[in-house]
DNA sequence: TAACAATCCGAACGATCGTGCTATCGTGTT
DNA sequence: AACACGATAGCACGATCGTTCGGATTGTTA
């Protein structure tokens, strides 16, 4: 890995951290340059525009998300164990300092058209598809009812994540984790074969 | 109502609309002045600072929220009907153009300390308390199980709202409403006496 | 209608925004 | 050791940011 690539990744790491607290739009070139010991123009050698930077931040974050959440979950046994693993890892991801960048970007950009919003929307769809797909392995394994709706499960589970995110960050409520777990167990109980 | 008060309210209306799409921080004095046919300094006659403006926007929005969501719901019969009414009105509120300003402000400011964040957090707590309190009338009326947890219900219901918000706005998914209703009915079914 | 207060504007402030250009630095290859 | 080239810095640009202040204009009241 060349030197340029190294600093580029370092910048993307810092930018991701920054975007999680002030948003993708609130993040500025100046402060980002300062906190990475670079000059503003030094940054622009790696990114053609702020929009390009935002897109790369999302791409970089998604790679980390796949490595830290999706991949570990997929290594769990099919069915309910895999669903549980996915839930656990995603909850841990959301508990990182600053929270989940996709969650913050999603509500920030949901009404601002453009390529960045499109990218966030695509990632959100991918994520829901992943949840639904993992849930389907549970149906196939006979853990969940055959008439259960995987997309509805994804909708509900995403709601649990969002509520947890808000409860733990905005309200500083330490019971958010327990609450999320309780909701999750209830979702599973409803989906299970009777 | 004097003229000053009238323009102040007009500005707050427009500011609320603007904040819903670009966020409380993304909203700028210049564009707000332009879209209200005022000069920047003309705005500053009504608001001492941008932070003060943001706080007033939240206060103004909360008054409308109480009038359009809480009050109508409280006029419904105690118990499950009142819970249903609260859900309906809140869903309608979230479906306004630009969505819910509290939802957008909540995820925007959840990691940026200051009086605005404190205000948003207080509003969020009030809202959850309202949900829990309305749910309690359902327990008292014998509609819901006595051992049901009102705060947990508030957590779950807020999750449904958040998922609906994201699904309808970011994903432009027209089935968001049906999904939210299905989740809501499931929540009620679980809470009901067996 | 005259006087007074409320309301709003014009102009300007320093700071910072995103974005280019040009020059210099460092590094690795020949 | 000379060179080529990728990586970074310096400086500047027009625009816009939030904010201030003095003066003009408007509305209300006696």
pLDDT digits (tens, 9 = 90+) for B56-93: 999 999 999 999 999 999 999 999 999 999 999 999 99
What is the C-alpha to C-alpha distance for residues B157 and B83, in angstroms, rounded to an integer? Answer: 10
Flag whether pLDDT at B114 surpasses 90: yes
Instruction: State which residues form the domain around A109.
Output: 50-191
**pLDDT (0 to 100) of residue A1:** 65
Q: With respect to residue B19, please indicate whether it lies within any of the assigned structural domains.
A: no
Q: With respect to residue A73, please indicate whether it lies within any of the assigned structural domains.
A: yes
Report chain B residues whose CB lies below 8 A from the CB of A129.
Answer: none
* Main-chain dihedrals φ then ψ at residue A141, nearest 5 degrees: -80, -5
User: Rounded to a whole number, what is the distance in Å from the CA of A1 to chain B's nearest CA?
Assistant: 34
In tens digits, chain A (194 residues) has pLDDT values of 677 788 999 999 999 999 999 999 999 999 999 999 999 999 999 999 999 999 999 999 999 999 999 999 999 999 999 999 999 999 999 999 999 999 999 999 999 999 999 999 999 999 999 999 999 999 999 999 999 999 999 999 999 999 999 999 999 999 999 999 999 999 999 999 87
Residue A152 at interface with chain B, using a CB cutoff of 8 Å: yes
Flag whether pLDDT at B141 surpasses 70: yes
Q: Look over chain B and give the mean of its residue pLDDT values, rounded to a whole number.
A: 97
Q: With respect to residue A37, please indicate whether it lies within any of the assigned structural domains.
A: no
Three-class SS of residue B144? strand
Q: Report the CATH number that the domain containing residue B175 is assigned in CATH.
A: 1.10.357.10
Q: With respect to residue A1, please indicate whether it lies within any of the assigned structural domains.
A: no
Q: With respect to residue A19, please indicate whether it lies within any of the assigned structural domains.
A: no
Residue B166 at interface with chain A, using a CB cutoff of 8 Å: yes
* Main-chain dihedrals φ then ψ at residue B162, nearest 5 degrees: -65, -45
Report chain A residues whose CB lies below 8 A from the CB of B108.
Answer: 23, 104, 107-108
Q: Is the dihedral of CA B73, B77, B81, B82 positive or negative?
A: positive
Three-class SS of residue A144? strand
Most A-contacting residue of B168, B170, B185 (CB-CB within 10 A), to test interface: B170
Q: How far is the CA of A24 from the C1' of D15 (A)?
A: 21
Q: How far is the CA of A40 from the C1' of D13 (A)?
A: 14
pTM: predicted TM-score of the whole model, two decimal places: 0.97
Q: With respect to residue A135, please indicate whether it lies within any of the assigned structural domains.
A: yes
What is the C-alpha to C-alpha distance for residues B55 and B45, in angstroms, rounded to an integer? Answer: 16
Band of pLDDT at residue B3, cut at 50, 70 and 90: confident
Q: What is the count of structural domains for chain A?
A: 1
Q: With respect to residue A175, please indicate whether it lies within any of the assigned structural domains.
A: yes
What is the C-alpha to C-alpha distance for residues B91 and B168, in angstroms, rounded to an integer? Answer: 11
Residue B156 at interface with chain A, using a CB cutoff of 8 Å: yes
Q: With respect to residue B37, please indicate whether it lies within any of the assigned structural domains.
A: no
Band of pLDDT at residue B1, cut at 50, 70 and 90: low
The answer to whether B30 CB sits below 7 Å from nucleic acid chain C is no
């Amino acid at each position: 890995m060349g030197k340029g690539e190294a600093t580029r990744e370092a910048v993307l790491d810092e930018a991701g951290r920054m975007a999680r607290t002030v948003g993708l739009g609130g993040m500025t070139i100046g402060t980002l340059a300062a906190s990475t010991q670079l000059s503003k123009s030094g940054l622009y050698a790696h990114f053609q525009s702020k929009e390009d930077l935002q897109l790369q931040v999302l791409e970089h974050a998604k790679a980390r998300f796949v490595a830290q959440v999706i991949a570990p979950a997929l290594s769990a046994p099919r069915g309910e164990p895999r669903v549980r693993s996915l839930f656990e890892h995603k909850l841990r991801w959301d508990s990182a300092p600053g929270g989940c960048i996709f969650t913050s970007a999603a509500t920030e950009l949901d009404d601002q058209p453009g390529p960045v919003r499109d990218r966030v929307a695509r990632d959100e769809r991918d994520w829901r598809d992943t949840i639904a797909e993992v849930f389907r392995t549970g149906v196939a394994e006979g853990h969940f009812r055959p008439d259960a709706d995987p997309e509805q499960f994804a909708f509900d589970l995403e709601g649990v994540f969002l509520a947890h995110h808000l409860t733990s960050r905005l309200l500083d409520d330490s019971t958010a984790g327990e609450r999320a777990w309780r909701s999750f167990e209830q979702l599973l109980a409803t989906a299970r074969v009777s």
